[in-house]
Amino acid sequence: MNKIAAISHLQKDFIDQVFELTSEVAKKWPNVEKVGTGKTICLLFWEPSTRTKLSFEHAAKMLGFNVLDFSPEHSSLKKGESFEDTIKTLLAMKVDGFVIRHPEDNISKKIEKLLPANVFYINAGDGNHAHPTQGMLDVYTMKEKFNELKELKVTILGDVNHSRVVPSQIELLKKYSCSDINYLGPESLISEKFSPSFSSTAENCLANRDILFILRIQKERFKDSDSLNEANFINDFQVNNNFLTKTGFNGYLMHPGPMNIGAEITNDVADSDKSLILRQVENGLYLRTALLTLIA
């Protein structure tokens, strides 16, 4: 297993192995085995990234990899070179593995076919399709708090339709027999395939939920048919102290980042004792280090 394109392709035994090694990495960080010595990894990010890209870069360098940071804006893609020829060119430069983010849905399937069997690959997000390592680090963070995920109650709030994190997270939670997942937000941002969903809040409606997973409004993925009144969204669904009091939510808050403070969440809530947001970031470093160790 050296191609990580989507959670659906992975066996639960492999995920368990990743999680176990993540825990070991966390305990001994920064003293990790230099499995990347003599190998080269290339980071190709067609879209902006802070957490994913920098955690992969930090992990790879700590593991001893040579790291190539490919910038599409300053490459021959701007001269008309195709995506396929770019990958072939990098392979000719003896790159051993790739971490790729791309705006095209399902391009991970094309990438898998382009790469030889001995070259590893991690999908760092492709369109609305998948973001497997974000799903892994989120569920790992949940397991840290609850261990047994079967009875976990998760509510996902916000722009579900345009999230590539949600499909990966749901797929992984199902592998751990977690089925109590619901959705909260404007009807325009939650399609019928995400069920059960709720378009309004009531007193204590979240009182028994363990995780509130908050998503930003992803305007960069809106299509012409998409619409949202942002002022109404903030008034109805912003996670602030009044929202927490009204809904009775007393579980843990999570957010995959980046946060738009003052939109879907307020600063005081994001920094509260119930927030796992920075823990997610830290776990992302450990998990990506573990994953690279296993597949490189």
Which CATH fold topology does 132-275 show? Rossmann fold (3.40.50)
pLDDT in tens, 86-97: 999 999 999 999
Give the per-residue pLDDT at 202. Answer: 96
Is 3-131+281-295's fold the same as 132-275's? yes
CB 213 within 8 A of CB 157: yes
- In the 8-state DSSP scheme, what is residue 219? G
pLDDT > 80? residue 221: no
Domain positions in the chain are 3-131+281-295, 132-275
Q: What is the CA radius of gyration of the chain?
A: 19
Neighbours of 45 (CB within 10 A): 19
pLDDT in tens, 72-88: 877 888 788 899 999 99
Peptide bond into 103 cis (omega under 30): no
Please give the Cα distance from 202 to 211 (Å, whole number). Answer: 17
pLDDT in tens, 116-149: 999 999 999 998 899 999 999 999 999 999 989 9
Q: What is the CATH code for 3-131+281-295?
A: 3.40.50.1370
At 213, the pLDDT band (50, 70, 90 cuts) reads very high
> pTM to 2 decimals?
0.96
CB 212 within 8 A of CB 142: no
CB 256 within 8 A of CB 280: yes
